[in-house]
Structure 1
Amino acid sequence: MPDAPSGARIEVEGLTKRFPGAATSAVDGIDLEIRAGEFMTLLGPSGSGKTTTLNMIAGFEAITSGRIALDGSDIAQLPAYRRNLGMVFQNYALFPHMTAAENIAFPLKQRKVGKGEIARRVGEALELVHLGGHGDRLPSQLSGGQQQRVALARAVVFEPRALLLDEPLGALDKKLRESLQLEIARLHRELGITFVFVTHDQDEALALSDRIAVFREGRIEQAGTPAELYETPASRFVATFLGDSNVFAGRVRDGRLDTGWCSLRVRDAPVVDGPGADGPVALVVRPERLRIAAAGGPDTGDNVLSATVTDVVYHGAFRRVLVRFDGGGTGQVRDTAGAGGSLAVDQRVEVSWDGDAGVLVPDDEPEPVVDAPAAPVAAGAQ
């Protein structure tokens, strides 16, 4: 929309929410600064506190303690309607008896905007979400994707400085979801306002975000750019939740990781100091950083492990090869479909990688993460 306001800076400090009767806090003293105009995603499993945090920012949930500031002004005690924040829900929340245009006009009428101005803004909003000519249709006459576009238009038509989105694509099928991801990214670029987006979908978070805050049990485990979180996770939880991972758990001894069933070279591994000096660690290696070849080929890489293929999954542009290592644990390799020749179940192979292909993190997850994506994880004996 033309002349849209610039994005607002949102700050939360010590934000806490405790529900009556609950043994633990739903949100436990989090600190987070969302920069003006940024696309910030709150990512985490169910019950991690991300939606509760969004609802407190929106004003739909009262805080227990802490501070919420919009451009430096504390808004924690303001009712939702005075915060001037747009909100998009997963279930669209459209009025079924109103047309698309009437739904979009509703927040403007509540703000007592003049009829002529309402007509102009509604028309612009419909064009913005590519629904020009659909303004006279009821929600029941629109597809799920079109209804969500109406919800997006309604949330931005009054020109908020921030847009809050609570899993807005969760009810859509994969193809439509991917299409609307592109639309949301375009809207963010064109509007220039701050987006705060809640999802449990890791691919969605990686594709859309300027930064991601990973939630775990009411706290922020790590915040950073998608590349920072993917390439340098701060914990095993982040590594296994955000993307597929091979995880080798053990202790660092003399610059190598001893898993109990194999010894792995890790470049720049601590000998005396560092995360592996006084406790268990996990070596995280992404599936695309591994190489796989039929047994008996030339050894390549700092680490070479013998394994047996347990499954080969074809994904079109790539294949996912699941293996069982001879010493223990399972893992997966992702490579270009057909690269390295055909592979079959029960075939003997060698999996290799360079010493700098992985990252050492504290082993905070001795057991698989319950809510992590269902992908095999290679874990050495504790």
Structure 2
Amino acid sequence: MADPASDSSAGARIEAEALTKIFRGAAGPAVDGVDLAIHAGEFMTLLGPSGSGKTTTLNMIAGFEEVTSGRILLDGSDLVRLPSYRRNLGMVFQNYALFPHMTAADNIAFPLRQRKVGKKEIARRVGDALELVHLGEHGNRLPSQLSGGQQQRVALARAVVFAPRALLLDEPLGALDKKLRESLQLEIARLHRELGITFVFVTHDQEEALALSDRIAVFRNGRIEQVGTPAELYETPASHFVATFLGDSNIFTGQVRGGLVDTGWCELHARAAADTDGTGPVALVVRPERLRLGKPGGPGANVLSATVTHVVYQGAFRRVFVRFDGGVTGQIRDTATGEGRTVAAGERVEVHWAADAGILVPDDATAGHDPQALAVTS
């Protein structure tokens, strides 16, 4: 294979068209007609629970899984029949996948030797890659002599040393503890900025996805439920599933009647409710930070009575868990300092939020799991 360019000034555009994967003997497709366009140079995260199809999609892009049907395009060229080693894509795994008998420098040099790069050029690129991941003085160490975080840095360096147009990362931080994971999140974000190439990142960690991504594709049952920026998905989820999977939510289900959400035990004001009378079962989604304890200061707010079940102190804020009088459980994210009132388990409280603080989405349990069944999220 020809030596790739040593300076990749822009990432590749990756497109999946009707991408499908059916494993032999499986009851249904692991990936079911996925369409996804990943922009050149963007950080795209594939997010979803175990078995949702995100890793299988990544493996088909990488060439590690055969495609049952559909196309994968890299800058317009179909990759489906191209073997993985000819796709010029970097890959980072959760388990590092380093050669234990090779030093960090030799691990990083391995893809360059496979590409028949000259010795002087290999030495230069390996040195640059070690500096890029802040391991300049660790090149002669074996993986066993490095911490988990350092091993993952070596894996990152090995994946980018040959200047791929895109970097694929399969839950690369899953084996690390929380503090180290957060530290490496910053390093991955820095690498993305400095390299300017396309990153495709698989995770089931919602906070990780929100912190790192330009856009997120939420997977469910082999399909993409919604694609958007972190803010779009958090503020305007397209379905009950997205609202509950990405961040915490208070969910009130019911029917829209007379411009109000009728839950059977209360009636609630909601944005766009007047336009959705009789459209079918809905879920009103309200994020915990939008709820407030006590009576509202003005008219037009939703007010519900509840009983505090428990309170979790988390430093700058506290999570107050409640059971509303209709039996629905919920939570409020409240300031733990300043003027926030103190509440305790068993206390009766009133909870309020503004009518425009919630968003209506289809109730997935009864609306056929169709995120487009009720278009009220704009």
Do the two structures share a fold, i.e. TM-score over 0.5? yes
Deviations 1:299-323 (A, max 9, x none): 7751010111100001111100000
Structure 1: tracts of 5 or more residues without a match? 370-382
CA contact (8 A) 1:300 1:353 kept: no
Q: Which residue identity lines up with residue 347 of structure 1 in the other structure?
A: E
Structure 2: tracts of 5 or more residues without a match? 370-378
Scaled by the length of structure 2, the TM-score of the pair is 0.93
- 1:128 to 2:99 alignment: no
Work out the CA distance in 2 between the residues paired with 1:299 and 1:330.
Answer: 25
Q: State which of 94, 97, 111 in structure 2 corresponds to 1:93.
A: 97
- 1:195 to 2:194 alignment: no
Work out the CA distance in 2 between the residues paired with 1:156 and 1:112.
Answer: 16
1:2 Cα shift?
8.0
- 1:206 to 2:198 alignment: no
| Residues 2 and 72 of structure 1: CA distance in aligned 2, closer, same or farther (over 3 Å) | closer
Scaled by the length of structure 1, the TM-score of the pair is 0.92
Q: Which residue identity lines up with residue 341 of structure 1 in the other structure?
A: R
Q: Which residue identity lines up with residue 317 of structure 1 in the other structure?
A: A
Deviations 1:223-281 (A, max 9, x none): 0111111000000000000000000000000100000011101133135xx3x523100
Work out the CA distance in 1 between the residues paired with 2:270 and 2:94.
Answer: 44
Aligned 1:14-93 pairs, distance under 5 A? 14-93=18-97
Deviations 1:211-230 (A, max 9, x none): 00000000000001111110
Deviations 1:320-339 (A, max 9, x none): 00001112211000021134
- 1:157 to 2:161 alignment: yes
CA contact (8 A) 2:19 2:32 kept: yes
Q: Hey, what does 1:322 align to over in structure 2?
A: 321
Q: Hey, what does 1:350 align to over in structure 2?
A: 350
Work out the CA distance in 2 between the residues paired with 1:131 and 1:300.
Answer: 59
Q: Hey, what does 1:278 align to over in structure 2?
A: 279
Q: Hey, what does 1:359 align to over in structure 2?
A: 359
Q: State which of 87, 107, 119 in structure 2 corresponds to 1:103.
A: 107
Q: Secondary structure at the match of 1:3?
A: coil
Aligned 1:254-293 pairs, distance under 5 A? 254-271=258-275, 274=276, 277-293=278-294
What is the root-mean-square deviation of aligned Cα atoms in Å?
A: 1.7
Work out the CA distance in 1 between the residues paired with 2:46 and 2:205.
Answer: 10
CA contact (8 A) 2:30 2:221 kept: yes
Q: Hey, what does 2:372 align to over in structure 1?
A: none
Q: Hey, what does 1:9 align to over in structure 2?
A: 13
Q: Secondary structure at the match of 1:270?
A: helix
The count of residues paired between Structure 1 and Structure 2 equals 363
Q: Secondary structure at the match of 2:243?
A: helix
Deviations 1:76-119 (A, max 9, x none): 11000000000000000000000000000000000000000000
CA contact (8 A) 1:301 1:353 kept: no
1:6 Cα shift?
1.1
Work out the CA distance in 2 between the residues paired with 1:137 and 1:365.
Answer: 54
Work out the CA distance in 2 between the residues paired with 1:182 and 1:153.
Answer: 15
Q: Hey, what does 2:122 align to over in structure 1?
A: 118
